A and B are shown apart, each in its own frame.
Chain A
Amino acid sequence: MSILLDASTKVIVQGITGREGSFHTEQMQSMGTKVVAGTSPGKGGTTHLGVPVFNTVADAVAATGANASGIFVPPPFAPDAIMEAAAAGITLIVCITEGIPIQDMIKVKDFLRGYPSARLLGANCPGLITPGVAKIGIIPQRITMPGPVGLVSRSGTLTYEVGSALSASGMGQSTIVGIGGDPVLGLTFRDVIELFEKDPATTHLVVIGEIGGSDEEHAAELLGRGSRLKTVAFISGRTAPEGKRMGHAGAIISGNRGTAKSKEEAFRKAGVAVAETTDDIVGLLK
């Protein structure tokens, strides 16, 4: 069992003919992900990496019944790609693209309110992987192993680091989800933790947060209300200097939230173990 992604998920890749899209599609295919199609405007009717290419997502969905998408297109085109996927009925949209303007993402988030069954992961995220089964995105299969630990993270390489440590100590993962580090993004820690909570195959949880925003605090509030998962949290950036701030608008709405200290305290208050370093995570989880 897993969350969001399993052996039956039919995946399309938006931007499949690009360099990144091609490389990662091959990686996804090599671990058995059911990649059913790709899209690339103007290349409809061709075949790439053994799958049919369509001009639009709607065409791809109509022909293949795809229900998930991985987006590997440059920042100027990624917002439209996300909305196109939602409008075509895709329910899991994974946007890997880094560097999308914030105002574009705010518009996308507003647009997605009209498609409540569409879940967006990212943007600027490594995607997700259900070890041994399937992945959408760029998380290396090598560092994973099937098992009971749910892992959700804002950082890319730190996710690989922790996944790798878990696997090395024999603690496999149900699903690893990278939610991304952008200020305006899709699924939050809370959303993902709620899914893990409902997944019988997940018994343990690792949350890797970082400074900024208050998604970690919200996740801690949720866990504090009672959880069946044995959880360890880690926050990176405790020694990062305070940004050279200008103006007060950000502080007015965020107050004291956002610091590593605030996040660690929120988790401790919720009864969640907080790891001092990534090396401590495995020990605390056992």
Chain B
Amino acid sequence: MKLLEYQAKEVLDLLGIAIPAGKVARTPEEAAAACAELGPVAVKAQVPVGGRGKAGGIKLAGTPDEARKAAAQIIGMDIKGFKVPLVYCETALEIEREIYLGFTVDRDARANILMLSSKGGMDIEQVADESPESIARLYPNPWRGPLDFELTQLVYDAGLGELARPLSALIKKLYRAIPELDAITAEINPLVVTKTGEVIAGDAKLEVDENAAWRHKDLEQRYGGVVEGDPYEVEAKRRGLTYVSLDGEIGIIGNGAGLCMSTLDLVQRAGGRAANFCDIGGGAKAEVVENALAVILMNPRVKGVLMNVFGGITRGDEVAKGLVHARDNLKMQLPLVVRLSGTREEEGRRILKENSIEPGASAWEAAQKIVELTRVRA
């Protein structure tokens, strides 16, 4: 789960890291009130994606009236597919210098990596590309966390020795997000040193591991559900499906992420465009199939559905029966092509044919068939 900026800053505050004064506003009136209380503020869209500034999601407001206008423009706007649910009004900092601080999981090293650079604020990816040596790195031991001397080394390696004490202390606090919250990525960019010498988090990004949600029910309760995402994704999540919306016309159901992804590839190769990614997992149980079909059919753009099931141990005839039942229950009228493999696959195909569902002999043939069928209707 990716936290919004204000949520991430709340977490930083709890960890003891300084953040600028700020207030959440759900309406233009609340933004005006926040500005009246805080003075000049930046009105910032709260969405879980980068590039807000370029998209017009951050505006400066000197007066409550300006804050009201800015919030009216920003709340509800669409930034990369996310409708902005609220804004965060935050006082501006007197910036002396900007630092980059972050951690993430280094998949190659199978470890967490802490990164610190004196070149914060600017495009840090460009810095990583052009002068990787200017980003100091540390792989802390996952059982005990970073030790003081390791942090001192990191800070000196980053050329920030004069800030050794405050930075080491701050990094130690940020690191607590790993053992205490199952954070997998955190970023403070910029980490601001103010003209008065304070070290404050200018921005904050935090992503926590969804696989560890059972350990952090409070986080989900407090922060989940603020962002209104794609309605089909929301419904799919409610029904316990692994589903991602895409922008094509052909609904896709597959079992297993790899098989499902390769099905998307085949549809595109056949000249069609997938409307979604939907992985129904191993067993392809009738109830799950029906849930998947129901979510896909909610989308009016969908002109047909391709289902690709490779049953290892799953029985083809049972999958076929479940699918016919689901289709009839949902009164589905659109073309449906099914590639079915597994034990008793011949019997499964016969059941499909008897119920006027097109079986495809191979995934590629099935992909071509659904593209053809949806074209005719277009």
Which residues of A pack against B, CB within 8 Å? 27, 75-76, 99-107, 109-111, 138-140, 142-143, 153-161, 164, 181, 183-185, 208, 210-215, 218, 234, 236-241, 244-255, 276-279
Which residues of B pack against A, CB within 8 Å? 2, 48-50, 80-81, 102-108, 110-113, 115, 124-125, 128-129, 135, 141-143, 178-179, 182, 184-187, 189, 205, 207, 209, 211-212, 214-215, 244, 246, 254-259, 261-262, 264-269, 274, 277, 282, 310, 312-313, 341, 343, 362-364
Determine which of B104, B106, B256, B267 lies in contact with A156 in the assembled complex, contact meaning CB atoms within 8 Å: B256
- 20 further A-B contacts with Cβ under 8 Å, apart from A106-B111, A156-B258, are A27-B313, A101-B182, A109-B110, A111-B143, A140-B312, A140-B313, A142-B343, A154-B258, A155-B256, A164-B310, A181-B258, A184-B110, A236-B261, A239-B267, A240-B277, A244-B81, A248-B189, A252-B102, A253-B115, A254-B107
Counting chain B CB atoms within 10 Å of each CB, the highest count among A153, A183, A236, A277 belongs to A236
Which B residues touch A237, using CB under 8 A?
258, 261-262, 264-265
Which A residues touch B256, using CB under 8 A?
155-158
Given that A214-B108, A244-B81, A248-B125 are known contacts, is A157 also in contact with B310, CB under 8 Å in the complex?
yes
Given that A210-B258, A245-B50 are known contacts, is A102 also in contact with B108, CB under 8 Å in the complex?
no
Which A residues touch B215, using CB under 8 A?
101
Inter-chain CB contacts under 8 Å: number:
191
Distance from A6 Cβ to chain B, minimum over Cβ atoms (Å): 22
Which B residues touch A102, using CB under 8 A?
105, 182, 184, 209, 211-212
B312 touches A110 (CB 8 A): no
Q: How far is the CA of A68 from the CA of B331 in the complex (A)?
A: 50
A/B interface sample: 17 pairs, CB < 8 A: A100-B211, A107-B143, A109-B111, A155-B256, A237-B258, A237-B265, A239-B274, A244-B48, A245-B49, A246-B207, A247-B185, A247-B189, A248-B124, A248-B187, A249-B115, A255-B128, A277-B262
B258 touches A252 (CB 8 A): no
Distance from A10 Cβ to chain B, minimum over Cβ atoms (Å): 24
- Closest A-chain residue to B267, C-beta based? A239
Which A residues touch B143, using CB under 8 A?
107, 110-111
Q: How far is the CA of A245 from the CA of B47 in the complex (A)?
A: 11
A240 touches B264 (CB 8 A): yes
Distance from B302 Cβ to chain A, minimum over Cβ atoms (Å): 17
Distance from B242 Cβ to chain A, minimum over Cβ atoms (Å): 11
Distance from B343 Cβ to chain A, minimum over Cβ atoms (Å): 7
Which A residues touch B49, using CB under 8 A?
244-246
Distance from B260 Cβ to chain A, minimum over Cβ atoms (Å): 8
Which A residues touch B182, using CB under 8 A?
101-103
Q: How far is the CA of A76 from the CA of B102 in the complex (A)?
A: 27
A156 touches B269 (CB 8 A): no
Counting chain A CB atoms within 10 Å of each CB, the highest count among B179, B187, B259 belongs to B259
Determine which of A75, A106, A251, A279 lies in contact with B128 in the assembled complex, contact meaning CB atoms within 8 Å: A251
Given that A103-B182, A214-B108, A247-B102 are known contacts, is A143 also in contact with B261, CB under 8 Å in the complex?
no
Q: How far is the CA of A216 from the CA of B107 in the complex (A)?
A: 12
Given that A240-B261, A276-B269 are known contacts, is A103 also in contact with B178, CB under 8 Å in the complex?
yes
Q: How far is the CA of A240 from the CA of B268 in the complex (A)?
A: 10
Q: How far is the CA of A11 from the CA of B374 in the complex (A)?
A: 50
B211 touches A75 (CB 8 A): yes
Which A residues touch B113, using CB under 8 A?
253
Determine which of A107, A214, A247 lies in contact with B187 in the assembled complex, contact meaning CB atoms within 8 Å: A247
Which B residues touch A211, using CB under 8 A?
261
Which B residues touch A236, using CB under 8 A?
258-259, 261-262, 265
Determine which of A143, A208, A255, A277 lies in contact with B258 in the assembled complex, contact meaning CB atoms within 8 Å: A208
B141 touches A244 (CB 8 A): no
Distance from A277 Cβ to chain B, minimum over Cβ atoms (Å): 6
A252 touches B135 (CB 8 A): yes
Q: How far is the CA of A215 from the CA of B108 in the complex (A)?
A: 7
- Closest A-chain residue to B114, C-beta based? A249
List 4 A-B pairs, minimum CB-CB distance, nearest first: A155-B258, A157-B256, A140-B312, A101-B212
B178 touches A213 (CB 8 A): no
Which B residues touch A208, using CB under 8 A?
258
Given that A106-B142, A109-B110 are known contacts, is A249 also in contact with B187, CB under 8 Å in the complex?
yes
Which B residues touch A164, using CB under 8 A?
310, 341
Q: How far is the CA of A251 from the CA of B124 in the complex (A)?
A: 10
Which A residues touch B212, using CB under 8 A?
101-104
A252 touches B268 (CB 8 A): no
Q: How far is the CA of A276 from the CA of B367 in the complex (A)?
A: 14
Given that A110-B142, A247-B187 are known contacts, is A103 also in contact with B179, CB under 8 Å in the complex?
yes
